[in-house]
Amino acid sequence: MNPAKKPKTIELALVGGDADLLYARQPKVYPREIDGRYTRLRVAAVFWLLGMFYAFPWLSWDGRQAVLFDLPARKFYILGLTFWPQDFFYMTWLLVMAGLALFFFTALAGRLWCGYACPQTVWTEVFLWIERRVEGDRNRRMKLDAGPWTREKIVRKSAKQFLWIAFALWTGFTFVGFFTPIRELASNTAALSLSGWEAFWIAFYGFATYGNAGYLREQVCKYMCPYARFQGAMFDRDTLVISYDAARGEPRGGRRRGADPASLDLGDCIDCNVCVQVCPTGIDIRHGLQVGCIACAACIDACDAVMDKMQYRRGLIRYTTERALAGGRTRVLRPRIVFYAFVLAALAAGLAWSLSHRSLVLAEVIRDRNALWREGRGGSVENSYTLKIVNKSDRALHLSATVRAPFALEIVGASGFAVEPSAVAAIPLTLRAIAPPAGRHDVTLELVEEATNPKDAATVRVVTRYFAPEPNP
């Protein structure tokens, strides 16, 4: 076979002449610290997001925990709202919105989620910050790892491990605090009387945080995250991505500060490698858009600082589009972006409307399965039911019931019911009619809250069936 006609796949598999290279051990990444506008934005996002995570379970709302996912009671408390299993479709709604938001932001500006809001990025920032404070800057960390186990190395590594584990356990504790009242959890922890499940989940989530943010770091983004794999399908030539301007930067090469690149026949890239050193995933953005790029923009800040020192124009690495790099005009507002934005806005408005008009009372009428009807005195026919009322509000409900039917039908006994706050009541109910028409009839039960202000009164209607026999000949 002519070697020139070898299948391309084989050439790729044996790249470098050594198939083992495909499975080469990943070298540890030592990201260099950097300052700049995008770094400050990322730090602000870390404070904001982690601030919400660690603070929310401690906040109170109407005398209870502001955010609590009470799984045993099957109720989710989010600020002033209580969600019941019947409200599960809101979760589906939110997931649809989250998926669409991912499409929208990815089509607009690439992996914004990964760079600024993904828990992996956010917690890795904190673990990295601890590592830097304890072990020093990039060079010192590399020297420390390469050097022998001296007393200083043992002390620094132990201190880092202690802080990492403490922070990871605090994270695990906070996570569990979203599912069980956190103040109780704190006193149980202090008294060493945690339940087995609480201890397990604190340790499990703490360990996951420690492992992912402390050790796996960029490996999660590169090899485990599915989003990294399919995000390319959401990009187009007008998506804003972090790119190196090769036309401006090449040919790269070293030179004196302030030297005129044109006179040296060079591009603006001085090949200082700082953009690679600051990259948390250890890639070189000058090789083009890669699956390992989490769009953290650290390389933009690094290169801008270098450009400032060289007195060159900023933006050799910048947010730009494939079309703009090829000399075209960036089109941010394109049909798919407008479509995503419109659907997202409609879903958000629908959710807000639905939440504000959500009925806090649910009622269900379940027929007695033993008998379709029962004959009473004076030719009356009775049907029996169980009336189930769910009070999703935080106030006690007093409801009065009326029944509507195409013939005279009445409720036997009391027609007023009380339901405790956040409770479900199962009430026996009997409907009676004198000499009703034979057959099956749809009847409506209306429950109206006895409120001082009729505008605030909850009203709920349920349709059920009433059966009557053929009259005796």
In angstroms, rounded to a whole number, what is the distance separating the alpha carbons of residues 206 and 220? 17
Within 357-438, residue ranges assigned H as helices are none
As a residue count, the chain comes to 473
Nearest distance, CB of residue 44 and ligand SF4, angstroms: 17
Does residue number 275 form part of the binding site for ligand SF4 (CB under 6 A)? yes
- Give me the residue label for tokens 């830097």: 132
- Kindly tell me which residue out of 107, 298, 401, 468 binds ligand SF4, with binding defined by CB under 6 A: 298
Select the residue interacting with ligand SF4 from 180, 209, 281, 464 (CB under 6 A). Answer: 281
Residue closer to ligand SF4, measured from CB, 186 or 289 = 289
Is there binding between residue 271 and ligand SF4 (CB under 6 A)? yes
The string of DSSP letters for 48-87 reads HHHHHHHHGGG-EETTEESEEEETTTTEEEETTEEE-GGG
Residue-by-residue DSSP string for 89-109 = HHHHHHHHHHHHHHHHHHHHH
Only one of the segments 10-18, 83-91, 269-277, 357-365 lies at the binding site for ligand SF4 (rule: CB under 6 A); that segment is 269-277
| Residue 118 vs 274, nearer CB to ligand SF4 | 274
According to DSSP, the β-strands at 380-391 and 67-70 are unpaired
User: Amino acid identity, residue 63?
Assistant: G
Quickly count: other Cβ atoms within 10 Å of residue 249's Cβ: 19
> Which of these ranges, 130-138, 300-308, 395-403, 419-427, lies near ligand SF4 under the rule CB under 6 A?
300-308
Give the one residue of 220, 240, 266, 270 binding ligand SF4; rule: CB under 6 A.
270
Distance of closest approach, residue 70 Cβ to ligand SF4, in angstroms:
39
* Binding to ligand SF4, residues 231-260 (CB under 6 A): 242, 244, 249, 252
Residue 391 near residue 364, CB atoms below 8 Å? no
Closest among 3, 238, 220, 30 to 121, alpha carbons compared: 220
Taking the alpha carbons of 65, 67, 71, 73 in that order, is the dihedral positive or negative?
Answer: positive
Number of residues that bind ligand SF4 (CB under 6 A): 30
* Residue among 234 and 296 whose Cβ is closer to ligand SF4: 296
- Please tell me whether residue 269 binds ligand SF4 under the rule CB under 6 A: yes
| 194 vs 269 by CB, closer to ligand SF4 | 269
CA 196 to chain centre: 27
Q: Which residue from 296, 325, 381, 468 is in contact with ligand SF4, where contact means CB under 6 A?
A: 296
Nearest-angstrom CA–CA distance, 286 and 253: 13
Minimum separation from the CB atom of position 270 to ligand SF4 (A): 5
Minimum distance, C-beta of residue 317 to ligand SF4, in the bound complex (Å): 5
**Core vs surface per residue 31-62: b (16+ CB within 10 A) or e:** bbebebebbeebeebbeebbeebeebbeeeee
Side chain identity, residue 82? T
Pick the closest to residue 218 from 145, 320, 127 (CA basis).
127
Find the binder of ligand SF4 among 176, 220, 240, 293 (CB under 6 A): 293
Minimum CB separation of residue 253 from ligand SF4 in Å reads: 10
List binders of ligand SF4 among 424-463 (CB under 6 A): none
Span from 14-22, 152-160, 296-304, 371-379 in contact with ligand SF4 (CB under 6 A): 296-304
Is 297 an interacting residue with respect to ligand SF4 (CB under 6 A)? yes
Counting Cβ atoms within 10 Å, is residue 426 exposed (0-12), middle (13-18) or buried (19+)? exposed
* Rounded CA separation 38/305 (Å): 12
Q: Which stretch binds ligand SF4 (CB under 6 A): 75-83, 198-206, 287-295, 434-442?
A: 287-295
| Binding of residue 228 to ligand SF4 (CB under 6 A) | no
| Per-residue binder mask for ligand SF4 (CB under 6 A), 310-329, x = binder | ------xx------------
Dist. CA 137–CA 30, nearest whole Å: 9
Nearer to ligand SF4, 34 or 429 (CB): 34
Binding site for ligand SF4 (CB under 6 A): 242, 244, 249, 252, 269-275, 278-281, 283, 285-286, 293-299, 302-303, 306, 316-317
